[in-house]
């Protein structure tokens, strides 16, 4: 789909399940992932949405669960972290965590040695390695070259995902769509219609899953083609759309930030 399309009406009444990416969707990107902060208003909005949906709200993110909990503290939600390699299926439940394999640790050491002193942030997330080049966009090509070359020496089962301002190396089973499907098989999600908001290429798998389930897929600030069926221009628009559909303003008009 294209980003320039007709406005679409507000969501109809129904039993919805809401899945949310974080960076670039709920929060503006920063040069370093730890540079972002969560406002009290956003925490309150998410708490309100969770209550309105009877708990059928989950983060689907590339961040680790521990990092998300620090960021949103004291709020805890259901969550799939590391693209579904980690899960917390209930807000107060146990975390199914993922460790850093030795071969991934060695690769991260090598890449840090070359790039970390050049305004590139190498983020080690267990079995996922993320190289953030937002502060040094001219090094994105080199970062991509390094992780693509590493595929030949790593065990089979890894893939490279290029993002808007960086590149990630992760296991094939790290897929947001699989994480969404897992939640949809559990209460309180089962029997509901899924909605997923994301902003990056790593979210496309989630859009495809939601589309196949007859749900609503929304890409925030889309760049080029996407499998998402709707688009929102920016983070501010995404938050306004969530408020209009699921927050205090859910009974009012004003859901026209969403375009097909």
**Does residue 77 share a domain with residue 45?**
yes
**Could you tell me the two tokens for 157?**
């089962």
pTM: 0.82
Average pLDDT over residues 226-230: 93
Q: Which of 150, 171, 192 is the C-terminal boundary of a domain?
A: 171
Q: What is the largest CA-CA distance in the chain?
A: 56
Which CATH number fits the domain that encloses residue 111? 3.30.70
Which residue range is the domain that position 218 belongs to?
16-96+174-251
pLDDT tens sequence across 57-112: 999 999 999 999 999 999 999 999 999 999 999 999 999 988 888 888 899 999 99
64 domain residue, yes or no: yes
The total of structural domains in the chain comes to 2
Q: Could you tell me if 89 and 30 lie in one domain?
A: yes
Q: Same structural domain for residues 159 and 181?
A: no
Is residue 181 located within the same domain as residue 236?
Answer: yes
Of the residues 21, 23, 69, 203, which is catalytic? 21
Residue 199: pLDDT over 80: yes
For the question of residue 21 being annotated catalytic, the response is yes
- Give the domain-ending residue among 112, 146, 171: 171
Assigned domain for 147 exists? yes
CATH number at residue 83: 3.40.50.1000
């Amino acid at each position: 789909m294209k980003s320039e399309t007709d406005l679409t009406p507000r969501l109809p009444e129904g039993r919805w399940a809401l899945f949310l990416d974080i960076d670039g969707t709920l929060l503006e990107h920063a040069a370093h992932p730890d540079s972002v902060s969560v406002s009290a208003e956003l925490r309150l909005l998410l708490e309100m949405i969770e209550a309105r949906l009877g708990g059928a709200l989950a983060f689907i993110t590339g961040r680790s669960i521990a990092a998300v909990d620090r960021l949103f503290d004291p709020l805890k939600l259901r969550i799939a972290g590391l693209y579904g390699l980690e899960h917390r299926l209930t807000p107060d439940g146990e975390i199914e965590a993922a460790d850093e394999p030795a071969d991934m640790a060695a690769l991260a050491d090598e890449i840090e040695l070359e790039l970390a002193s050049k305004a590139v942030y190498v983020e080690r997330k267990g079995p996922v390695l993320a190289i953030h080049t937002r502060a040094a966009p001219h090094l994105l090509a080199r970062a991509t070259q390094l992780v693509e070359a590493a595929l030949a020496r790593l065990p089979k089962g890894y893939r490279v995902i290029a993002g808007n301002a960086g590149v990630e190396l992760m296991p094939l089973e790290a897929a947001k769509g699989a994480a969404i499907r897992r939640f949809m098989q559990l209460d309180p999600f089962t029997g509901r219609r899924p909605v997923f908001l994301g902003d990056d290429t790593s979210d496309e798998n989630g859009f495809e899953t939601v589309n196949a389930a007859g749900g609503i897929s929304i890409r925030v600030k889309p760049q080029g083609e996407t499998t998402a069926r709707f688009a929102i221009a920016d983070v501010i628009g995404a938050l306004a759309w969530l408020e209009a559909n699921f927050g205090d303003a859910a009974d009012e008009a004003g859901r026209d930030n969403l375009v097909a």
